[in-house]
Amino acid sequence: MLIVTTNDVPGHRVEEVLGEVFGLTVRSRNVGSNIGAGFKSLVGGELKGITKMLHDSRQEALERLSEEAAAKGANAVLAFRFEANEYASTGTEICAYGTAVRIAPA
């Protein structure tokens, strides 16, 4: 599955637009991560536990987006984006979205 942030793929034409696709995950932070983040915020620096959680969340959202696009018969996703929001002060929502298309060499 080709996933790009652009609206087209050089050297290819869009044969069919199959619609919007999404990959969504909501992750809560564990107690240890929250306590560690609190201490770390006193001295500054990277919050490695939270960084790992966000990286893993993005990967999961991207995989779900790819699966949804494949289920629609797509071989590419155009105009791909991520969106992240805090959820109820206890976790993070990560949404991957774009337009599922079928492309072919021009």
What's the CATH code of the domain at 87? 3.30.110.70
Question: How many domains, in total, are found in the chain?
Answer: 1
The dihedral through the CA atoms of 6, 12, 13, 18 has a sign that is negative
Give mean pLDDT, residues 75-96.
91
Helices (H) and strands (E) in the chain, counts: 2, 4
For residue 13, name the pLDDT band (cuts at 50, 70, 90): very high
Q: Look at residue 27 in the predicted model and tell me its pLDDT.
A: 86
Dihedral sign computed on CA atoms, order 77, 81, 86, 90: positive
Residues 19-59: tens digit of each pLDDT = 999 999 998 866 555 555 555 566 677 778 778 888 999 99
What domain range includes position 96?
Answer: 2-105
